[in-house]
């Protein structure tokens, strides 16, 4: 088979985690000339994941600026991607998810008439404002994609509903589980001293639609939970977005049983999830990983594009809502039966072979 130039693009932390298994699997294919493009929409959060998986970007756009705005980020990405596509002339471009990087890559590929494969295709809330701007990003990327690598049957159905041809959809499982299985079996260390006598609640939060008052409500709820429960410890690796970081430190910095730290590297974060009693988060990736680790997740959002685990009863939506966060967390702390129901270890998001299915589909196509 003739060699094909495969350009794999990563911009942010979750894209690197979910693309790493795909990049590594493609690199094992004799027909694939794999090139890795980091837009570096995230800087150090991206770099640490890439180095953990031992992947060196061939091209680095170094896009990130402090507190970057969506319009300028998109415009700068498009200009730089234009140059890359002209020089690289890939036969296929792959990118994952719903960030601004992915939307810009899909559009740039469309303009250059280069086939684009969308990894983690078909997630929808059907509400353009929530999550913002991710729902729009993935709708645009999906509209322009040649291949839709859908993680679940539900995602496939969403794409069919939008008129995507069934032949262009491949249900693969989510590659986040590939990455998790590659990592979770290793000797892992959180790297932070915790009180063994206390139950650990792990928190992450970064969604743009929660900036402002909703995020302040989340912080108020964490403070109240910490005050009411002397037998818990809350570990919160704070996202570096200044809209999150500044408020989190201002509102939570004074509590004895809340530990604030910077973003954890991927392996220590997996260790923290394994150690946690429960997880409170608005992260997409965490909603997918935690059920596989038998950890209940309370999601700080009113809607999710990942309904599968909610339907199974192992993830619950609590919104950025002060009362609901406290009520549902307290229930899981106090009621063993309610806790066990959510800690069943059922995972609807994949079997760890997602990357292999993506690579097989491309191999068959090019053959």
Binding map of ligand UD1 across residues 206-235, x = CB under 6 A, - = no contact: x-----------------------------
- Rounded alpha-carbon distances, angstroms, from residue 202 to 239, 271, 303, 308: 13, 11, 21, 22
Rule CB under 6 A: is residue 12 a binding residue for ligand UD1? yes
266 binds, options ligand UDP, ligand UD1, none, Cβ within 5 to 8 A by partner type: ligand UDP
Nearer to ligand UDP, 85 or 100 (CB): 100
- Closest of 367, 365, 288 to residue 117, by C-alpha: 365
**Nearest approach, Cβ of residue 281 and ligand UDP (Å):** 7
Among all chains, which residue has been given the structure tokens 């307290």? Answer: 330
Which of 2, 54, 56, 67: binder of ligand UD1 (CB under 6 A)? 67
Distance CA 148, CA 165 (A): 10
Q: Select which of 239, 301, 324, 357 is catalytic.
A: 239
State both tokens at 357.
């299915």
Which of the choices ligand UDP, ligand UD1, none does residue 133 contact, using the CB cut-off of 5 to 8 A by kind? ligand UD1
Taking alpha carbons only, the member of 206, 209, 70, 73 closest to residue 131 is: 209
Residue 204 touches ligand UDP, criterion: CB under 6 A: yes
* Nearest of 256, 257, 258 to residue 248 by alpha carbon: 258
Least distance between ligand UDP and beta carbon 103 (Å): 14
For the residues of 270-319, what is the DSSP string, one character each? HHHHHH-SEEEE--HHHHHHHHHTT--EEESSS--S-HHHHHHTSEEE-T
Indicate whether 209 belongs to the interface with ligand UDP (CB under 6 A). Answer: no
Full strand arrangement of the beta sheet holding 199-204: 258-261, 232-237, 199-204, 278-281, 297-299, 315-317
- List residues bridging with 35 in a β-sheet: 7
Number of residues in contact with ligand UD1, rule: CB under 6 A? 24
Nearest-approach distance from CB 306 to ligand UD1, in angstroms? 13
Choice among 13, 15, 42, 98 that is catalytic: 98
Given the rule CB under 6 A, which residues bind ligand UDP? Answer: 13-14, 17, 176, 204, 206, 237, 263-264, 266, 269, 283-286, 289
The catalytic residue positions are 98, 120, 134, 206, 208, 239
């Amino acid at each position: 088979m003739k060699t094909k130039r495969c350009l794999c693009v990563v911009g942010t932390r979750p894209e690197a985690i979910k693309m790493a298994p795909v990049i590594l699997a493609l690199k094992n294919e004799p027909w694939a000339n794999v090139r890795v493009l980091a837009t570096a929409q995230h800087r150090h959060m991206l770099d640490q994941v890439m180095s953990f998986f031992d992947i060196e970007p061939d091209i680095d756009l170094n896009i990130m600026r402090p507190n970057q705005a969506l319009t300028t980020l998109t415009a700068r990405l498009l200009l730089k991607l234009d140059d890359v596509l002209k020089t690289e002339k890939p036969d296929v471009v792959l990118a994952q998810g719903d960030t601004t990087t992915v939307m810009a890559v899909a559009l740039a590929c469309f303009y250059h008439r280069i086939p684009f494969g969308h990894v983690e295709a078909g997630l929808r809330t059907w509400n353009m404002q929530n999550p913002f701007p991710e729902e729009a990003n993935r709708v645009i990327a999906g509209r322009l994609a040649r291949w839709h690598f859908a993680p679940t049957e539900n995602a496939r159905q969403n794409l069919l509903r939008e008129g995507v041809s069934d032949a262009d959809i491949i249900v693969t499982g989510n590659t986040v589980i590939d990455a998790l299985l590659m990592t979770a079996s290793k000797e892992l260390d959180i790297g932070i001293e915790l009180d063994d006598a206390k139950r650990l609640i792990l928190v992450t939060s970064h969604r743009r639609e929660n900036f402002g008052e909703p995020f302040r409500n989340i912080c108020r709820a964490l403070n109240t939970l910490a005050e009411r429960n002397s037998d818990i410890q809350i570990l919160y690796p704070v996202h570096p977005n200044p809209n999150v970081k500044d408020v989190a430190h201002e509102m939570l910095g004074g509590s004895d049983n809340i530990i604030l730290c910077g973003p954890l590297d991927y392996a220590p974060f997996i260790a923290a999830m394994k150690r946690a009693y429960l997880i409170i988060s608005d992260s997409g990736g965490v909603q997918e990983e935690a059920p596989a680790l038998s950890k209940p997740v309370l999601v700080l959002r009113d809607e999710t594009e990942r309904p599968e685990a909610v339907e199974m009863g192992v993830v619950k939506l609590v919104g950025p809502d002060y009362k609901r966060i406290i009520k549902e967390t307290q229930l899981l702390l106090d009621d063993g039966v309610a806790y066990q129901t959510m800690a069943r270890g059922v995972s609807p998001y994949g079997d760890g072979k997602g990357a292999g299915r993506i690579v097989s589909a491309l191999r068959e196509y090019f053959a």
